[in-house]
Amino acid sequence: MPWAWVGIEARECAATVFEDIVGAAHCITDPAGLRVYECDGLTGTRVRPAAVVLPATTDEVARCVRRARQRGMPIVPRGSGTGLSGGALPVEGALVVGTARMRAILSVDLENQRMRVQPGVINLDISKHLSPLGYYYAPDPSSQSVCSIGGNVAENSGGAHCLKYGFTVNHVVAVTMVLASGDVVEIGSAIADPIGYDLISVVIGSEGFLGIVTEVVVRFLRKPEKTRTVFATFPSTDEAGEAVSQIIAAGIVPAAIEMMDALAIEAIVAATHVDWPLDVGAALLMDVDGVEAEVDETAESAIAILRGCGSIEIRDPRSESERALMWKGRKGAFAAMGRISPNYYVQDGVIPRSDIARVLREIAELSERSGFRIANVFHAGDGNLHPLVLYDARSGDESERAERVASQILRICLKYGGSITGEHGVGADKAAYMGEMFTDDDLETMHYVQCAFDATQAFNPTKVFPSPRLCGDRAGAR
Ligand SMILES: Cc1cc2nc3c(=O)[nH]c(=O)nc-3n(C[C@H](O)[C@H](O)[C@H](O)COP(=O)(O)OP(=O)(O)OC[C@H]3O[C@@H](n4cnc5c(N)ncnc54)[C@H](O)[C@@H]3O)c2cc1C
């Protein structure tokens, strides 16, 4: 293996290799400490790394990378470990470089609406810092209270409000990155439309295999003057899906429009006690925002469409705290599944918005055939599905069967011209499906891009690109 850990036999030695760089307290090699880093949010797959380092500066990251490469160690960057595709899953003999100590806000440029932060800064902390000044950072993954901005960059993370405002790639303008050689490069620019290739868009969404991002420059926005939230219930996901299509087709762009099916509503109500009816087939949670003068008019146009599509009940939250509770319910939906199932597998696929109702019907049929309950809670405006396959890992081979059901959902997405991931990335989990979506030429081109940054493939090996794993997988170009 090109990444075999040459030159160091025993795990204890790892501490001495890196401790002069990061300090002994920030170099983890004991088995109990390493357990924490064995997986990310995809908890069913675990690999114990050889060592974990927690550097504090770009220079420390660069020195750790150089030393790891001298010893042939593969390197796995890690933010908060909330990824759902095994992107931060270690590989055998790897050095995990965690950014948990890199949480400084380095500078704020109010005039140009730019902020420079270290990669371990938590997504929500950017908005918390800016809020008193009347600004916020738009991309809002449901995990925003724990996930890091470095992880967001690597995954090109989205969130409920990305429908109107765009994904991470639309809000990160520059990064500092440590390459596999240990060299430090600046990519992108704090100014608009810099000359040259758009390399920042190559880095964003590259899932940690081009380098380790050590500083991030984000673009932040003024808070909208007014936001109006609307909650609407429907007899089934058919009517709710149709309402989403019609709203967007009418030229209305809500800040967010999220769908939950009956099972998702049941779990959210159980977890948050939000006052939502349980005898409905689906619900939409929508934000309309903008300047005061136009928000109500836009919201009323959208509400007319909701009614026309057969909505049972339409509610405005009665207070800011009820609004916050509704959004807390939606954003906590994955965790809420714990109320109704011991385990769940989060799938992430994309379909054309106009096919939401048809695809949800196919998923319901799959649920019936397989015997697995499948809850749906997702970014309906983007057609970004998150079917949650509920299972009990203690029961026989349910884990494997649930994973197979989840993979069939991806194939349904592909059948409708969609994608195998909307925002959670390919990681280790979906590498096997890349060959179903891309041709060998596509994969080879992607591989050339990777090699332009790092021909040694030091970062995150075994991720993203397919290698034969399951019967029928295409090998891809590697
Ligand atoms: C409950 C829950 C809800 C979620 N909701 C959403 C959602 O709405 N939208 C969404 O997009 N995602 C969502 N996610 C997925 C996840 O939170 C995002 O992918 C997030 O961006 C991961 O950030 P992290 O800091 O946890 O990264 P990690 O999981 O630690 O790492 C993710 C990837 O980034 C790489 N990486 C991390 N830091 C760096 C760095 N500094 N330089 C280079 N590479 C790096 C890692 O190698 C890995 O490949 C959710 C997850 C959970 C558990």
Instruction: For Cα atoms 98, 99, 105, give the angle at the middle one, nearest 5 degrees.
Output: 175
Distances (CA, A) of 230 to 133, 225, 316, 379: 27, 17, 5, 15
For residue 430, report the distance from its CA to the centre of ligand 1, in Å: 15
Residue 475 has a pLDDT of 46
Per-residue pLDDT at 420 exceeds 70: yes
Ligand 1 mutation target, pool 47, 123, 142, most atoms within 8 A of CB: 142
Ligand 1 mutation target, pool 36, 84, 99, 175, most atoms within 8 A of CB: 84
Residue 466 has a pLDDT of 85
Higher pLDDT, 318 or 65: 65
Atom of ligand 1 nearest to the CA of 153: 21
For residue 159, report the distance from its CA to the centre of ligand 1, in Å: 12
40 within ligand 1 shell (Cβ under 6 A): yes
For residue 305, report the distance from its CA to the centre of ligand 1, in Å: 35
Residue 194 has a pLDDT of 84
- Strands ordered across the beta sheet of 172-178: 105-109, 114-117, 212-219, 172-178, 184-188
Six token digits for residue 218:
């984000």
* b/e per residue 284-302 (b: at least 16 CB within 10 A): bbbbbbbeeeebeebbeeb
Going by C-alpha positions, the residue among 214, 283, 279, 242 that lies closest to residue 63 is 214
Residue 478: pLDDT band (50, 70, 90) is very low
Residue 371 has a pLDDT of 97
What is the rounded (10 degree) CA torsion for 64, 70, 71, 76? Answer: 40
Beta-carbon contacts of 38 under 8 Å, excluding residues fewer than 6 positions away, are 46, 47, 48, 49, 90
Residue 190: pLDDT band (50, 70, 90) is confident
Contact between residue 362 and residue 387 where contact means Cβ atoms under 8 Å apart: no
For residue 295, report the distance from its CA to the centre of ligand 1, in Å: 32
Atom of ligand 1 nearest to the CA of 425: 19
| Mean pLDDT of the chain, nearest integer | 93
Residue 4 has a pLDDT of 46
For residue 249, report the distance from its CA to the centre of ligand 1, in Å: 32
Per-residue pLDDT at 289 exceeds 50: yes
Per-residue pLDDT at 3 exceeds 60: no
pLDDT in tens, 223-281: 999 999 999 999 999 999 999 999 999 999 999 999 999 999 999 999 998 999 999 99
90 within ligand 1 shell (Cβ under 6 A): no
152 within ligand 1 shell (Cβ under 6 A): yes
N- to C-terminal Cα separation, the chain? 14
Atom 21 (ligand 1) nearest CA: 152
For residue 426, report the distance from its CA to the centre of ligand 1, in Å: 11
422 within ligand 1 shell (Cβ under 6 A): no
